[in-house]
Amino acid sequence: TQAAPPVPEPPKQKAPIPEEYVFLQTVFEELKKHCIAAAANPQTKRKLEDVSKRLEVLYDLLREHRLSQNTLGSLGQLVQLIQAGDYANGIGLHTQMVSGPDFAQIASFMPGIKVLLQSAMQLQVYLR
């Protein structure tokens, strides 16, 4: 007799993002949704799918409280720039962040944020 194949574990339910960081997720997700809606070509849509994966990494780090106060402050500023539609300064802040001391902890998700900012700028998508 053969052993029954192992039953795959159901995916773990993720903990909610701490309340004080929910606004980060809200703004990034809203911008991504608008970009996907405005993206006409498949290549841009694929890039935005990758953005989703990278943002999920950010959300996991937020859930686990694994980002420095410095990074959290910068992400807060970045979200304010996105809300103001100031993507050029958002990309400037992104550049400062990735060349700063916290690079190792943010390297997994920052490329996704850069693509999101560039896409929003190209597609002329603004949150209102």
Which pair of tokens denotes residue 114? 């850069």
Q: What is the pLDDT of residues 63-74, one digit of tens each?
A: 999 999 999 999
Query: pLDDT at position 5, please?
Result: 62
Residue ranges and CATH numbers for the domains of the chain are: 19-123 (1.20.940.10)
Q: Give the residues of the chain that fall short of pLDDT 70.
A: 1-11
Q: Is-above-0.75 flag for pTM?
A: yes
Position 1 scores a pLDDT of: 59
Phi/psi-derived region of residue 85, left when phi > 0, alpha when psi is between -120 and 50, beta in every other case: left
